[in-house]
């Protein structure tokens, strides 16, 4: 730890002889001292000059030491106050501490008593300054990150929006060529066109997911009381329309209510349940469970499946944008869904996590605070 500075002391006592004696004695100990017998003059000095410690007499005719300390803290919130008193009662000490003083010293003074108090007070002063500097850096960094995030979201929205129209034209033209001129196009060329069309459609999905991600950062979270069980059943009814040929055992427990943005919460369940349906596709006896675990501070919602699962050593990639743990030729998707889930849950003040094993299914859980 670096050696503390000698310290700049502002000493206030209505007895001028006392002020002079303290200033001279402490100056000999390496401190920089400024003494005043007037509280008003001391506050004026504090407004024009920086001090580390304020040593003030408790009882003075112009203003008492506690009043002076309160005014000094308004000028410099990091200054450390020490009250000097001839009474030395417990009540005096308590009163001084409540006013913001770090410590008190009883008169008549002993140098062996004063010096340890000053050393401790300077250490507290340094901690206050370090804390203030850290908070300032955190505020600056937070503002920078928020600005960068807004710029990134605006950029993603702009790029995605500008790409949609030409991509739609490209997809439409390829469809026209395949529909109207397929008889004149060699099989190999048709195959290349179909691959190009599939790539264009995949890019379209990526663009839509980018737009959804960028909109989420600008969308306010409007919380209300949500009945979660009917919401999940509604999501499942929509998703099952594309799963008519599959036998899937889906169990939905009693999910209760929570305070959330209903549209955003629905998007969380859409993403997690669509993943469960997708990754159980290779299983003949597919099972999906949805249940909740409430406690005093939050409700945890869990979606468990017996699908293909994944290796937990890659779990840190799960919630990254465009990160995928399975080949795109086996399972469709852009790798944005779980990133959306994480952002939505975090904006509700919750958390999201997963557990899985290869070929033994996956469990995704998220919390919504009460």
Do 250 and 304 contact (CB within 8 A), yes or no?
no
- For the chain, strand residue ranges (E) read 8-12, 32-36, 53-57, 80-85, 101-106, 224-227, 248-252, 257-260, 286-294, 298-305, 352-356, 362-369
Does the model's pTM come out above 0.75? no
Is residue 281 a contact partner of residue 347, using CB atoms and an 8 Å limit?
A: no
CB contact set of 103 (below 8 Å; sequence gap of 6+): 82, 83, 117, 120, 121
Q: CA 53 to CA 72: how far, in whole Å?
A: 10
Largest CA distance in the chain: 112
Q: Cis link prior to 108 (omega < 30° from 0)?
A: yes
- Collapsing DSSP states into helix, strand and coil, what is residue 366? strand
76 within 8 A of 54, measured Cβ to Cβ: no
* Nearest-angstrom CA–CA distance, 3 and 289: 61
Element (H, E) at 17: helix 16-28
For 145-200, the DSSP string reads HHHHHHHHHHHHHHHHHHHHHHHHHHHHHHHHHHHHHGGGS-HHHHHHHHHHHHHH
Does residue 121 contact residue 53 with C-beta atoms inside 8 Å? yes
Tell me what pLDDT residue 170 has. 87
Q: Return per-residue pLDDT of the chain as tens, 370 residues.
A: 444 447 899 999 988 998 999 999 999 998 999 999 999 999 999 999 999 999 998 888 878 888 898 899 999 988 999 888 876 555 766 777 777 788 878 888 888 888 998 999 999 888 988 998 999 899 998 888 878 777 767 776 677 677 778 888 888 889 999 889 888 899 999 889 988 888 888 778 777 776 766 667 666 788 999 999 999 999 999 998 888 788 899 999 999 999 999 988 998 999 999 999 998 988 888 999 999 999 889 999 999 999 988 888 877 778 766 565 555 555 655 667 788 899 899 999 999 999 999 889 999 999 999 8
């Amino acid at each position: 730890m670096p050696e503390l500075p000698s310290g700049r002391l502002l000493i206030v006592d209505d007895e001028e002889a006392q002020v002079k004696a303290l200033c001279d004695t402490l100056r000999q100990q390496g401190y920089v001292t400024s003494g005043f017998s007037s509280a008003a003059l001391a506050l004026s000095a504090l407004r024009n000059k920086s001090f580390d410690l304020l040593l003030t007499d408790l009882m003075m005719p112009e203003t008492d030491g506690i009043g002076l300390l309160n005014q000094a803290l308004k000028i410099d919130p990091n200054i450390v106050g020490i009250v000097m008193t001839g009474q030395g009662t417990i009540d005096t000490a308590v009163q001084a501490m409540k006013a913001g003083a770090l410590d008190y010293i009883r008169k008549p003074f002993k140098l062996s008593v004063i010096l340890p108090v000053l050393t401790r007070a300077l250490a507290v002063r340094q901690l206050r300054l370090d804390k203030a500097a850290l908070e300032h850096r955190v505020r600056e960094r937070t503002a920078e990150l928020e600005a960068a995030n807004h710029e990134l979201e605006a950029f993603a929205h702009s790029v995605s929006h500008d790409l949609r129209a030409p991509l739609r034209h490209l997809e439409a033209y390829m469809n026209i060529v395949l529909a109207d001129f397929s008889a004149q196009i060699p099989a190999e060329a048709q195959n290349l066109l179909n691959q190009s069309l599939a790539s264009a459609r995949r890019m379209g999905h990526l663009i839509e997911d980018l737009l959804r991600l960028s909109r989420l950062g600008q969308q306010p979270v409007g919380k209300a009381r949500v009945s979660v069980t009917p919401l999940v059943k509604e999501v499942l009814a929509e998703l099952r329309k594309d799963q008519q040929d599959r036998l899937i055992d889906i169990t939905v427990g009693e999910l209760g209510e929570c305070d959330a943005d209903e549209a955003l919460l629905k998007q969380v369940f859409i993403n997690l349940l669509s993943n469960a349906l997708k990754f159980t596709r290779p299983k003949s006896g597919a099972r999906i469970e949805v249940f909740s675990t409430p406690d005093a501070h939050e409700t945890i919602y869990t979606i468990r499946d017996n699908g293909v699962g994944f290796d937990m050593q890659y779990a840190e990639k799960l919630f990254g944008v465009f990160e995928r743990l399975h080949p795109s030729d086996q399972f469709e998707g852009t790798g944005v869904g779980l990133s959306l889930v994480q952002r939505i849950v975090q904006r509700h003040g919750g958390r999201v996590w997963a557990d899985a094993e290869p070929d033994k299914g996956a469990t995704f859980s998220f919390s919504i605070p009460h």
